[in-house]
Every structure is written in C-alpha cells, then in structure tokens.
A and B are shown apart, each in its own frame.
Chain A
Amino acid sequence: MSLDSPNSYLKKTHCILGYKGQTGILSYLLTLDHKRIGVMYLISTMTAFLVAGLLALGVRTELLSPEKIMVTPQQYNRMFTLHGAIMIFLFIIPSVPAALGNIILPIMLGAKDVAFPRLNLLSYWLWIVGAVTALVAISQGGIDTGWTFYTPYSTSARPGVIAMAVGVFILGFSSIFTGLNFMVTMHKLRPPGMTWFRMPLFLWALYATALMQIIATPVLGITVVLLGVENIMGVGIFDPKLGGDPVLFQHFFWFYSHPAVYIMIVPGFGIISDVISIHARKHIFGYSFIAFSSVAIAILSFLVWGHHMFTSGQSTVVNVIFSALTFTISIPTAVKIYNWIATLYKGSIQFTTPMLYALAFIFLFTIGGLTGFPLATLATDVHLHDTYFVVAHFHYVMMGGLVIAMLAGLHHWWPKFTGRMYSETWGRVACALIFVGFNITFLTQFLMGAQGMPRRYYTYVPEYQIYHQTSTAGSYVLGLGFLVMLLYLVHSLFKGRPAPANPWGGATLEWRCSSPPRYDNFETTPTVGDPYDFSDLRYDPSIGGWISNDAPVAAGKAS
C-alpha cells in the first residue's frame, strides 16, 4: 500500500474516515479500531469544549458589568458550574489521553491496536452515557455548586447533584478503562526492539497519566457514589446534620482531583517533548530526566491534595507539610521546562503551527507554574484563596498548559490521522489570536485577584470593572481564535493538500506508516530506533515530506 501516492491511497482504502467498505455511521460507532475511537473521542470532547467555552463566554459577558446583563445570579452560578464541570470531566481529562492518545499511542508503540479494543469502545460509550447524564442534570434545573460539589451545600437534596454525581462516576470509569488499556498496551504490546527507553516521551507521559488514572479515579468514584447516596438516602457520611463530616468530602475530592490536574497536564508535557524535538530538528535533551520526571509528578501528585484546604481548618502542622510537599512538585516540572529549553538551544527551529503552540505552552505554563508558588505558600494563600488569582493560575496551567499543548498535538498529528494538511498561514493566525486573547483574559485576572476580587461572584465593586471588561474583551479574541481554527481545520478535511507520511520529519514510528494509517497500522512490524535521531531523514520536496535516507526510491513517488 505504501507504493501508492497519498492521494490515491486515500481514495482507495483504509482511510481513517472510512475504511474500504466500512463507511457507514455504524461502522464508526461500533468500531474496535483505536484510531476511529480516538477520532470519535476527539469530536466528542471538542464538542464538549465548544459548549463549555460558550458557557465561559456567557460568564465573561455577564461580568462586563456588576449589574444584570443577561442572566440572573442563580443562572450565573449554574453557568460557571457547568463551564467547570464540562471542561474538567468531559473535555480536559479525556482530551489528550482518550482522543490523541488513542489515535497515536499504538502507532507510536508499533502495535496494531490497544490491548483491549472492546474495552476501548466501552470506555467511549461510557463517556457518552456520562455526558448524557450530565445533560439530565441540566434538565433537572442544573447545578450551582461549582465543579467541586462541596458538601454540605451539595447534599441538600438537589436532584441535579445526583444526576451529576452519577455522570461523574460513569465518566470516571471511562477514564479508568482508558488508563488501564494504555498501561497494559505499553507493558505487553511493545514490538521487539521497543524497549522502555526507546519509547517516545509522549508514551512515557501517557504511562504516568495511566498510573494516576488507575490509582486516583476510583477514589473519585466512591466519593461521588457517597455524595449521591447522601443526597438520595441521607446516609450521614458527609452531611453534618446526620453526623457526617463535610470536610471529609473535601479530602476525598481532592485526593482525586489533585492528581487529576496532573492527569490533565502530564499528557500535555509528553506532546510538548515530542513536538519540540521534532520541530527543532534536534535530539531531545535529557530524555531519561523528562521520562522520570513524569513518573515523579505522578507519584508526588498523590501527596499534595491538602493544599486545596489550607483555609478549611486543617491543623497548622498538616498545612505546613502539604505546603512543603507542594513545593517539591516544582522540581520535576522545572526539570521538564529546562530540558525543553535546552532542546531548543541551537536547534534549527521551524516555526510551524505545532511549534508555535509548543513555544506558547512553555511561556504560559511557566507563568502558570510560577504563580502556583504564592498559592502554595501558607501566608500568601490566605490572602489569595478563592480570588481571581486562583482562577487565573489554574487557567494558565489548564488552558495555557494543557489546551495549548493539546492544540500543538492536534496540529502535529492532524496530517497523520486525517491524511490532510491544514493551512499553515491560518494556523499561525489562529495561534496568535489564541495566545494574545488568552493573555489579555487571564493576566488581568491575576491583577484583580491579587487586589481581592473573589471568584464565583456575580457582582463586584466598581474598582474592578475595568479589569473585568478587559478580561471579557480578551475572551472574545480567544473565542475568535478558536473559531478560525475550527474553520481551517474543517476546510482542510475537504480541500486540504493530501498529507505525506512524514510531513514534519519525525523519527517516531507513527511517521513510518502512511497518512492516514491502514487498519492495522503497519504492513510489517517496523524496526525501532532512537525516537529522536533525525540524521536518517531527508526532505523530499516532490512529496512535501521527509523520507528515509536508506530508502530513496521507495514509496513510488514517481507515480
């Protein structure tokens, strides 16, 4: 098959958007192919992103003025709760592992599929069921507890909370099954020659993520089960009226949800490692340090949950310990940042769209990381707790970090799994809009947060209005950037130039199979080398992609 030109290949067979004789919608919905499941995940999570993003724009619009603009305070509370809950549970957590990970992981590994394709499909359908259950929560009047569902407010028999708890439980299992599948795949389906230290760093990151998904998510599961049971039956575990302890809920919740922020961000680290190395045409610096720092983050992430509860009445000793442990997380994180910068140093940096996102990531994530310090410091946290400073901090980490990394990965692998190139020009324009819009939106939130603007409030004193208006203006620029991105990506699907097998010159295995890959990925099990050694590749202008030095006349470019 590799003898066909990309275009005829695309028409003939095994396209990601329709294998030969399998183009119906059902062939998609019931597929066991990891690439198709990944594409379904991508479409679904991006839809969730769109919905939650529009909710965010609604929240920002309402905050243009301290008075009512379009929603009541009650509706406003529901809006930001849904924004948070959808973003976290339906988009950020599954976005990189379940969408990009599903598409790329087996190919990168040199495997034909993930270890358990049926479980993979089940995991996707659990996501759908979870999302539908969340819709039920909305139809029951929505929830206004914030995405953290703190008790006792959330235990006062709110039907929406019950549905949301069920939804989050189901989504949790979707996430567990993805992590479990990936971990087993990486343990048992590595082809000969693919040793642990020849695995691309994206795979190491997914491994660390899978570890956290498996260990942390069940605790969320039991927490939301107890929350639901508390609401339905009044079991008295979290409800102080019945002898329960509401702070215990916070412990349970953050025992999951702190590792969860690393479940969100660590796959992003993996993408950045790969994108930076490939688009700087330079071997990754400090491979094993980056690999192990992912695992170190995964382990440390379980020891810091108490830093969300500095003001909840924990003992001072506990606070000091959690504060100190929180600082240690900065070590493996900084190891990554320095290694990326060292990789860029003297590299021949190609300012492609994925690379622009990767560079934006380093900038934004560093801000997000550094603003974590005042929050991890006990004395300053008392002032900053529950202000816009926290909101800005985690948006820099989650959006400036993970979403930007995800966009880097999406643009990096888009040609691989769709078989089409997008417009570089428009890609750069969208990246610039997103970068500028993002900073306008959230830098201002640092300022007003430091001055005391509390988060989640519907109204505010006039001094904050200029910040809120600037932030809202930024969010519109951000929204415009995503709109542009949506347009050129959809356009590329229909009008894009057919993608060569290796448009960026990557040395990892996924660039060795055709774009898009055939059903079982590789015709023959590929030989595995150093994933960051680019010396074997040269650019072939006739196909607009990179080919191996060893096989100059292969791949029948003449046709």
Chain B
Amino acid sequence: MGDDHHHGPLAHHFDALEQQSQAATLGMWLFLATEVLLFAGLFCAYTVYRATHPEVFEFASKYLDTKWGAINTVVLIASSWTVALAVRSAALGQRQKTSILLVLTLFGAAAFMGIKGVEYSHKFHRDLVWGLYFNPENAKPHQEQIEAWKKEWAREKAHEGYGEEEIAIRPASADYGARDPELSPPQSSAVPIPPLQPAGSAQAHDDETVGPVYYSLDKVRNVHQFFGIYFCMTGLHALHVIVGAIVIVWILLRNVRGDFTPEYHTPVHLAGLYWHLVDLIWIFLFPLLYLIG
C-alpha cells in the first residue's frame, strides 16, 4: 500500500473528507472533555477548601485586582470572538481575512499573558504566594489598600442604613499596622474593634457585621491557602493559553501556506474549539477567584 494516490488532506483509512472531518471533530470534543476534567480536579480542590475555610477565601480574594481580572475577561472573550470569525472566514475561503483574524486572536492571547504577568509580579513582590514561600509579614495589606477597603466598607454600611456619623467614628487605629505590628503572638488573632451599633438598634451584632474588620491576623496568616489554589488554577490556565497560542500560530502558518479550502478547514475549526475552551475556563475562574471578597 503506497501513498502514490494521495488525495490531498484525505488520509488513506477514511472514505471521504466529510467522514474524516467528523472524526477529527469528535476527537477534539473528547479531548476537550478530558481538559475539562483535568481542571475539574482543581475546581474540586477549590470547592473543598473554600467550604472548609470560607473566611480565608473571601479575605484573600481582596488581594486580587478585579480591574485586571475584568480586563482579561474581556480580552479573552474578544479573542474568542475573533477566532470564531476566523473559522467562519476559513469556511468561506477568505484566506487573508482568516489570517488577520488569527493574528488578532494572538494579540488577545499576548495581552492576556501580559496582564497575567503584571498580576503575578505584584503577587510575587509581596510574597503573596503558596504555602512554602508565603511570607505573612509581606502579605500585610498596604495602607492604601486598607483605605480602599475602608471606603468600600463605609459604602456597604451606608447602603445597609447606618448613619454617616456612626461610620465615621470608626477609629483610624483599627488598621493593622498601627495596632499590632507583630504577627507572631497568636492571642492577638483579630484586631480588637469597638462594637458598632446600627441606627435604631442597641443589639450587638455577630462578627460579620460588627465593625470594620478589614482583616485579621488569622486571615493574613492563612491567605496562602487561597493563593496555592489561585496559582495552580491560573497557572494551569495560563499554560493552556500558551499552548493555544502556539496552536494558533501553527494554524496561521498553514493558512498562509494555503492549506485550507472551504472543503477542508477542519484544523482551523479545531483550534477555534480549543481556544473557546481556554476562554470558557477563564470565565469560571474570574468570578470564583476575583469576585468572592
């Protein structure tokens, strides 16, 4: 059996391009299923640790910059859109347009990785990392961060119907650095805070509604639990972005070479599917990591 009657992209064991394309597409979907299951392990770990340490997760999530996360979400969704258009233009045989759209998708990937890099370097600078290398001393929130949290807290309280003066009497010393510079003594696990009474009520509230607990030492001490998961999830995702970008570069080169026709453009389609998966996983990661605080 030689390859002497080689019919372009049709492999010898298929009868028709249609059948070959269907097989490849089914294979890709199955592969995507395995990718989802690969991430499922991490989502499961996330669920377990968030269920057992909800306060750590909610607090630690505040360290993430929602702005960057949101921009990255938009970037990825936009790149998903351009790759979808690329698949369409490949199906229509518009070679040049396909190339342009693939390049745009690559820009999206690069932008995402750039922003991710900025975020990661912020975290690394402050040792906001996983268990072994985590340094709670450096993880203490900065003054401006505390100010931002204070404002956010005041906004929330105002929204809940507290009077302005009640919010205003919160002592400035309630922040961490002024009161308790040492992390080591375990007895001062939370910054002592005078109780705050809501308007028209003399009742003391439970921990969650009492006072501006911007953070406590326990929480700072444990944020590495969150960041362990954070770096595993976003790291694996970033790896997928890189792999996806490499695949798209390869598809782009093949497109420039003129491999694809309206009859045969399955690889573009499959690369697009893969890129959508990368996008989809981020769409779950963003709220679970950034928006829970």
Which residues from chain A sit less than 8 Å from chain B, CB to CB? 106, 111-117, 119, 176, 180-181, 183-185, 187-189, 214-215, 217-219, 221-223, 225-226, 229, 233-237, 239, 241-245, 248, 252, 518-520
Q: List 6 A-B contacts (CB under 8 A).
A: A218-B36, A218-B40, A219-B37, A222-B42, A237-B45, A252-B41
Contact of B232 among A112, A176, A235 (CB under 8 A): A235
* CB proximity of B155 to chain A, nearest CB, Å: 32
Residues of A within 8 A of B13 (CB): 106, 111-115, 117, 189, 520
Of B63-71, B82-90, B118-126, B222-230, the segment with at least 4 beta carbons within 8 Å of chain A is B222-230
Contact of B26 among A188, A234, A519 (CB under 8 A): A188
* CB proximity of A392 to chain B, nearest CB, Å: 32
A234 touches B131 (CB 8 A): yes
Instruction: Identify the closest chain B residue to A252 (Cβ).
Output: B41
Instruction: Identify the closest chain A residue to B31 (Cβ).
Output: A180
Residues of A within 8 A of B22 (CB): 188
Q: Is residue B81 within 8 Å, beta carbon to beta carbon, of the partner chain?
A: no
Knowing A188-B26, A234-B130 touch, does A242 contact B38 (C-beta < 8 A)? no
A237 touches B229 (CB 8 A): yes
B38 touches A222 (CB 8 A): yes
A218 touches B232 (CB 8 A): no
Instruction: Identify the closest chain B residue to A242 (Cβ).
Output: B131
Give the distance in Å from the alpha carbon of A222 to the alpha carbon of B39 in the complex. 7
B23 touches A243 (CB 8 A): no
Q: Is residue B292 within 8 Å, beta carbon to beta carbon, of the partner chain?
A: no
Knowing A520-B12, A520-B13 touch, does A236 contact B27 (C-beta < 8 A)? no
* CB proximity of B143 to chain A, nearest CB, Å: 28
Give B3-40 as 1s and 0s: 1 = Cβ < 8 Å from A's Cβ atoms: 00000000111100001001110110011011111111
Give the distance in Å from the alpha carbon of A116 to the alpha carbon of B14 in the complex. 10
Q: Is residue B48 within 8 Å, beta carbon to beta carbon, of the partner chain?
A: yes
B131 touches A184 (CB 8 A): no
Contact of A183 among B30, B48, B229 (CB under 8 A): B30
Q: Is residue B132 within 8 Å, beta carbon to beta carbon, of the partner chain?
A: yes
Q: Is residue B286 within 8 Å, beta carbon to beta carbon, of the partner chain?
A: no
Residues of B within 8 A of A106 (CB): 13
Q: Is residue B169 within 8 Å, beta carbon to beta carbon, of the partner chain?
A: no
Count of inter-chain pairs, beta carbons less than 8 A: 121
Give the distance in Å from the alpha carbon of A119 to the alpha carbon of B31 in the complex. 12
Give B122-154 as 1s and 0s: 1 = Cβ < 8 Å from A's Cβ atoms: 000000001111000000000000000000000
* CB proximity of B25 to chain A, nearest CB, Å: 9
B232 touches A518 (CB 8 A): no
A236 touches B130 (CB 8 A): yes
Give the distance in Å from the alpha carbon of A225 to the alpha carbon of B232 in the complex. 10
* CB proximity of A235 to chain B, nearest CB, Å: 4
Q: Is residue B1 within 8 Å, beta carbon to beta carbon, of the partner chain?
A: yes
Contact of A217 among B11, B34, B39 (CB under 8 A): B34
Instruction: Identify the closest chain B residue to A177 (Cβ).
Output: B31
- B249-281 contacts to A, CB under 8 A, are none
B34 touches A184 (CB 8 A): no
* CB proximity of B129 to chain A, nearest CB, Å: 9
Q: Is residue B162 within 8 Å, beta carbon to beta carbon, of the partner chain?
A: no
Knowing A219-B40, A219-B41, A243-B224 touch, does A234 contact B132 (C-beta < 8 A)? yes
Residues of B within 8 A of A180 (CB): 27, 30-31, 34
Contact of A236 among B41, B52, B224 (CB under 8 A): B224
Knowing A222-B39, A519-B1 touch, does A184 contact B30 (C-beta < 8 A)? yes
Q: Is residue B231 within 8 Å, beta carbon to beta carbon, of the partner chain?
A: yes
Give the distance in Å from the alpha carbon of A379 to the alpha carbon of B157 in the complex. 55
A184 touches B27 (CB 8 A): yes
With A115-B27, A180-B34 already in contact, 16 other A-B pairs whose C-beta atoms are closer than 8 Å: A112-B12, A112-B13, A116-B27, A187-B26, A189-B14, A214-B30, A214-B33, A219-B38, A221-B41, A222-B41, A233-B132, A234-B130, A236-B224, A241-B131, A243-B225, A244-B131
Give the distance in Å from the alpha carbon of A214 to the alpha carbon of B33 in the complex. 8
Chain B CB within 10 Å, residue with most, of A217, A223, A237, A520? A237
Give the distance in Å from the alpha carbon of A286 to the alpha carbon of B245 in the complex. 51
A218 touches B35 (CB 8 A): yes
A236 touches B26 (CB 8 A): no
- B193-240 contacts to A, CB under 8 A, are 222, 224-225, 228-229, 231-232, 236
Residues of A within 8 A of B14 (CB): 189
